[in-house]
Chain A
Amino acid sequence: MSLAGLVLLLIAAPQEPRPLFRVSTEAVQVDVFVGEDGRAVTGLGPEDFELYDDGVLRNVDSVAVAEVPLNVVLVLDVSESVEGVALTQLRSAADKFLDELSPEDRAALVTFSHHLSLRSDLTSDPAPLKQALSKVEAVGGTSWHDALFAALEMLEAVRERPVVLLFTDGADTYSWLREEQVVSLVSRSNAVVYAITRGERAAIPDLGTTRAQERFRQNRRERFRRTRLLLDVTRESGGRLIETSSSGPLEESFLEILAEMKTRYILTYSPPAPVRNGWHELEVKVKRKGVDVHARRGYHYEARR
């Protein structure tokens, strides 16, 4: 299945592991998180959801949860800014995350500085990932745009619950891909992207000069823009961004995200043929007041020839 051609997971009859896609047998899967006051809402069934495809209400055929294994690519920043305690915290958090995965889940590890490295391909054995993490050194600049692209491409052929967990603590300074290209790639992928970021807030400087004031504002704008892009990327995919303090442990955030992954619903529905080529707006609602729903904003469909 191509990443660009068919982004949301389109599945055929369940007994066919690698099906040929035909419109009449296609189904769309939407990975959804439902929360209330920061906690996952569990126990929902098809009758609790409303799903709109291009504004048209569709019947949800089935809802699956936890039993569908995860395919997670950990995309971790090992640039110079992570050196020291931060790297130790990152290793510890990633280790804990891997410990908590189910035996059926698979994980891969991509690290990035100004250089991308595949440390371990998707595997249900956490040992090679942990071993690779223990050897990682923090050096160089930050290129998370390119690293995210690589992770999405790795997950492109994965049919079951593709997820990216991105950690970065700095602005992207070295990627080949531009911001708009990254957002476009995410919107065309079927992966859910979670991100964790941390970093120093700029100290308020001595605002004795106009130039100093301008630089401070510029710095704040830059921080906002960086966070904004991560927010756009995660929201586009139906994931979430967690911002942590610059020096606190990361374990809590990693485990929070894993818990959220484990409580997501997979909604399956069958769009009536013929499915229109191109972008489809998606909206998922829950028939209950006061809940937050995180789902991708749409999918890109292209009929197979």
Chain B
Amino acid sequence: MALGQALTLTAALFLQSRECELTEVTFQEDAEYLHLVSLYRAGHPSEAIREIGNLDIAVVKRLIQSEAPGMSDDCLQAASILETELAMTLAENSLWQNADSHFEAAWQISLLIELTYQGERATPVRRLRFQRDWLLAAGLFNHQLIFMNVAEKAFVRADRFLHNAVRLYPNDPEVLLAAGSLLEWSGSLREGEPSHLKEAEELYARALRLTPDEPEILLRHGVVLEKLEKEDEARPPLRRVLELETRKDLIYRSRMVLGKMAERAGRLVEAIAHYEAALDAIPSWQVAYVALGHALHTSGSHDRAREELDRALAMDMKSADATLGGWWSYELGVALRFEPLFERMRAEVTK
């Protein structure tokens, strides 16, 4: 037997042992759905997310309506996280309508488990509550506040879910960072909740007391302080990010905020230097060209300003900046923020 075949067989056996089941499978699509949840549990999240996105949402709705008879808690929880990851992916690609139904499915699946354990204070339920509250809050915040008119009920629900989630894990830097970013985003919106900026700042400060040199938390703390117009307090954490050997996107963002503050104070030379340094870090993100163009324009360097804007305008919509992982997805508070949490949640259902 060839080594490849042996590995395939091993993987198949491994998968089989984790195969999710229902008491009765009536439709072929149900079997496919169960197989993809199993695939997710077996450590193939990307493939499972991609494939499950091709299935009709009616499949999961049917599963929920029938209360998924015979499906184990681990499988249900995996399905819930998988649905959420799919919803996040759709949201990141601006497919909000589709994302909504998967957020809702994730929430309803987690509810199935919680109802089973109602009244118990077991850890799995606590974890599940966190997952459900946190992820639904994320979905609601991102969707309802940004792209639609503020929906009163959705906002109140999201607010409550988020605070519940943070209360469950008050000393987890990752949770504090993730929650802070949602609050920060909400607080930055004109239709959002102004007090959320202050709350975000407090969560980041708490997270930094636990992990003082975590670059991403330093960056977010600096950003939110700048938004709160506490520029003197914002500069040290942002400069600290530059001192640390960290990811280029974090360097880029720190430079941009430092540049913005310098420009606002009329220190155009300094602002231009920051924007240029941002572009040194990542030349393929559009926003720094716009910022640099404006700073050059203000400083009277019109030919150079036009050059930078020409570069910005020539950038393809399909560039990294315009799609996943770029400047804007970070500002949405979606992709980078949630991945560590998803990893932990996945680990819970695959161990």
Per the bound structure, the CA–CA distance linking A3 and B305 in Å amounts to 11
Q: Is the interface of B mostly helix, strand, loop or mixed?
A: helix
Per the bound structure, the CA–CA distance linking A225 and B286 in Å amounts to 27
Given contacts A176-B287, A176-B291, contact A202 B313 (CB under 8 A): no
Per the bound structure, the CA–CA distance linking A156 and B294 in Å amounts to 13
- Residue A4, interface by CB 8 Å: yes
Per the bound structure, the CA–CA distance linking A212 and B317 in Å amounts to 38
Q: How many residues of B contact A (CB 8 A)?
A: 37
Task: Kindly supply a per-residue 1/0 record for chain B positions 290-318, scoring 1 wherever the CB is within 8 Å of any chain A CB and 0 otherwise.
Answer: 11011001101010011001101111010
Q: Which residue of A lies closest to B189 (CB)?
A: A173
Q: Is the CB of A139 within 8 A of B94?
A: yes
How distant is B84 from chain A, measured CB to nearest CB, in Å? 21
Q: Which residue of A lies closest to B299 (CB)?
A: A4
Q: Is the CB of B294 within 8 A of A141?
A: no
Q: Which of B61-69, B143-151, B339-347 contacts A (4 or more CB under 8 A)?
A: B143-151
List B residues 74-105 near A (Cβ within 8 Å): 93-94, 96
Per the bound structure, the CA–CA distance linking A176 and B93 in Å amounts to 21
Q: Is the CB of A116 within 8 A of B146?
A: no
Q: Which residues of B contact A18 (CB under 8 A)?
A: none
Q: Which residues of B contact A114 (CB under 8 A)?
A: 322, 328
Q: Which of A59-67, A215-223, A249-257, A269-277 contacts B (4 or more CB under 8 A)?
A: A215-223
Per the bound structure, the CA–CA distance linking A202 and B302 in Å amounts to 42
Q: Which residue of A lies closest to B190 (CB)?
A: A222
Q: Is the CB of A4 within 8 A of B302?
A: yes
Given contacts A173-B189, A211-B152, A219-B191, contact A141 B146 (CB under 8 A): yes
| CB < 8 Å neighbour of A4 from B147, B191, B298 | B298
Per the bound structure, the CA–CA distance linking A141 and B330 in Å amounts to 13
Per the bound structure, the CA–CA distance linking A206 and B151 in Å amounts to 11
Q: Which of A29-37, A97-105, A146-154, A260-268 contacts B (4 or more CB under 8 A)?
A: A146-154
Task: Kindly supply a per-residue 1/0 record for chain B positions 316-333, scoring 1 wherever the CB is within 8 Å of any chain A CB and 0 otherwise.
Answer: 010101100000100100
| CB < 8 Å neighbour of A222 from B94, B191, B313, B331 | B191
| CB < 8 Å neighbour of A150 from B96, B300, B313 | B313
Q: Is the CB of A140 within 8 A of B322?
A: yes
- Residue B168, interface by CB 8 Å: no
Per the bound structure, the CA–CA distance linking A110 and B328 in Å amounts to 19
Q: Is the CB of B150 within 8 A of A117?
A: no
Q: Is the CB of B312 within 8 A of A156?
A: no
Per the bound structure, the CA–CA distance linking A146 and B309 in Å amounts to 10
Task: Kindly supply a per-residue 1/0 record for chain A positions 171-201, scoring 1 wherever the CB is within 8 Å of any chain B CB and 0 otherwise.
Answer: 1011011000100010000000000000010
Q: Which residues of A contact B96 (CB under 8 A)?
A: 80
Q: Is the CB of A219 within 8 A of B150?
A: yes
Q: Which residues of B contact A202 (CB under 8 A)?
A: 149-150
| CB < 8 Å neighbour of A153 from B190, B291, B306, B331 | B306
Task: Kindly supply a per-residue 1/0 record for chain A positions 113-139, scoring 1 wherever the CB is within 8 Å of any chain B CB and 0 otherwise.
Answer: 011111000000000000000000001
List B residues 275-292 near A (Cβ within 8 Å): 286-287, 290-291
How distant is A206 from chain B, measured CB to nearest CB, in Å? 8
- Residue A42, interface by CB 8 Å: no
Task: Kindly supply a per-residue 1/0 record for chain B positions 102-133, scoring 1 wherever the CB is within 8 Å of any chain A CB and 0 otherwise.
Answer: 00000000000000000000000000000000
Q: Is the CB of B94 within 8 A of A140?
A: yes
Q: Is the CB of A116 within 8 A of B286?
A: yes
- Residue A205, interface by CB 8 Å: yes
- Residue B156, interface by CB 8 Å: yes
Per the bound structure, the CA–CA distance linking A4 and B294 in Å amounts to 11
- Residue A46, interface by CB 8 Å: no
Per the bound structure, the CA–CA distance linking A5 and B299 in Å amounts to 10
Q: Is the CB of A156 within 8 A of B306?
A: yes
Per the bound structure, the CA–CA distance linking A150 and B290 in Å amounts to 8
Q: Is the CB of B147 within 8 A of A80?
A: yes
How distant is A103 from chain B, measured CB to nearest CB, in Å? 26
Q: Which residue of A lies closest to B298 (CB)?
A: A4
Q: Is the CB of B309 within 8 A of A150?
A: yes
- Residue A81, interface by CB 8 Å: yes
List B residues 253-276 near A (Cβ within 8 Å): none
Q: Is the CB of B155 within 8 A of A215?
A: yes
Q: Which residues of A contact B322 (CB under 8 A)?
A: 114-115, 140
Q: Which residues of A contact B306 (CB under 8 A)?
A: 153, 156
How distant is B184 from chain A, measured CB to nearest CB, in Å? 14
How distant is A126 from chain B, measured CB to nearest CB, in Å? 20
Q: Which residues of A contact B305 (CB under 8 A)?
A: 153
Q: Is the CB of A4 within 8 A of B300?
A: yes
Q: Which residue of A lies closest to B319 (CB)?
A: A115
- Residue A2, interface by CB 8 Å: yes
| CB < 8 Å neighbour of A2 from B155, B302, B314 | B302
Q: Is the CB of A173 within 8 A of B146?
A: yes
Per the bound structure, the CA–CA distance linking A206 and B153 in Å amounts to 10
Q: Is the CB of B191 within 8 A of A181?
A: no
- 8 A-B pairs closest in CB distance: A118-B313, A115-B322, A2-B302, A212-B152, A114-B328, A80-B94, A202-B149, A139-B94
Besides the known contacts A114-B322, A219-B191, 7 further A-B residue pairs in the complex with CB atoms under 8 A apart: A4-B302, A115-B317, A115-B321, A115-B328, A118-B310, A156-B302, A225-B190
Q: A interface vs B, CB < 8 Å?
A: 2-5, 80-81, 110, 114-118, 139-141, 146, 149-150, 153-154, 156, 171, 173-174, 176-177, 181, 185, 200, 202-203, 205-206, 209, 211-212, 215, 218-219, 222, 225
Q: Please, could you name 15 A-B residue pairs with CB atoms under 8 Å apart, sorted by A?
A: A80-B96, A115-B317, A115-B319, A140-B94, A140-B322, A149-B290, A153-B305, A153-B306, A153-B309, A156-B302, A176-B287, A200-B149, A203-B149, A206-B152, A222-B190
